[in-house]
Amino acid sequence: MEFSADFFLLLYHKLVWPLFRLIGFISLGLLFANFIESLNWTSKIAAVARPLIRMSHLSQTAGASFSMAMFSGVSANTMLSEAHDQGRISKKELILANLFNSLPTYFLHLPTVFFITAPLIKGAAFIYVGITLGAALLRTTSIIFFSRIFLDRPDTDRESALPEQEEKKIDWQATWNKTWKRFKKRIRKIIRYTIPIYLLIFLMNRSGLFDSLESTMADALGFLPWLSPQSMGIITLHIAAEFTAGLAAAGALLQEGTMGYREIILALIVGNVLSSPLRAIRHQFPYYAGIFKPKLATELIIYNQLFRIVSLILVSLVYFMATL
């Protein structure tokens, strides 16, 4: 291996800067979440999601995390991690609350997804986004149902009294000192896990492991005989390149009249389902492992991916059965 200027430039752009940015975002989310906790504003933020939280028997911490997920997934997950480490929520509630946050997380990325898909696949974008939105709503409804079964109803009287106890004047200096103390303790642990895991994922990526896995998946699409050859091209690009590449191919085929809306939607959904697990490992795991313990991070990613894939398949089946 030649240690040239180009090598160090590549190392900076592909490893150092992305890792620095990731830790920076996690640090900001951690600071913000700790600051909210130190101010005892959890219940106030949770008020936004109170009806859903009451139905699902989740705590105010889960409600605050749900509300925060509309703006920052890092802050939302940090709240859950902190509460679990402090024994305020159980592992069962942590998992359910993390899954519950899929709806606000979806809305956080919805504008980007829509404004990328609409120019490329035109009217099919409304159907595709509608299916993914339906899947997100199905996940949320399911979590409300499962949470009511598996979680005991929280002590709402005690929780509702907490905000009233904190209506005194805020000592900003004491709050910041408490926040900073908790932040320093937590960030050391995050860095200890995040850097080696991110480095491992980087080396796996540079060695071509992910490319090989993606190519193998793309080459094995023969197990889906009901897909047209044109659909195979869209799915292959979706898996081996990225979402935008698959969309560009779909847009070109739609423009030429080679494929209709239904075929385009089918190809994009299949590409979405097949590409999600590898992308979760590559992009989501280093970030999750920095907030949660690696074992717990792995469990959460598996649950999230399974839940997401099943819900997407179910809603897609409804659409395709309705359009036969």
Q: What is the pLDDT of residues 256-308, one digit of tens each?
A: 777 788 888 888 898 888 888 878 887 788 888 888 988 999 999 999 999 99
Contact between 106 and 133 under an 8 Å Cβ cutoff? The reply is yes
Q: Is 90 helix (H, G, I), strand (E, B) or coil?
A: coil
Mean pLDDT of 223-233: 66
Going by C-alpha positions, the residue among 169, 137, 143 that lies closest to residue 63 is 143
Q: Which residue has the tokens 């399911």?
A: 142
Q: Indicate whether 147 pLDDT > 80.
A: yes
Q: Spell out the residues 6+ positions from residue 227 whose beta carbon is closer than 8 angstroms to its own.
A: 221, 235, 266, 267, 270
Q: What is the pLDDT of residue 169?
A: 67
Percent of the chain with pLDDT over 70: 81
The mean pLDDT of 81-92, rounded to a whole number, is 91
The encoded tokens of residue 151 equal 């979680």
CA dihedral defined by 308, 83, 26, 274, rounded to 10 degrees?
-10
Find, among 29, 60, 30, the residue nearest to 45 by Cα.
Answer: 60
**Residue bearing tokens 């906790």:** 37
158 has pLDDT over 70: no
User: Mean pLDDT throughout 71-100?
Assistant: 90
Rounded to two decimals, the pTM is: 0.75
Cβ proximity of 290 and 26 under 8 Å: yes
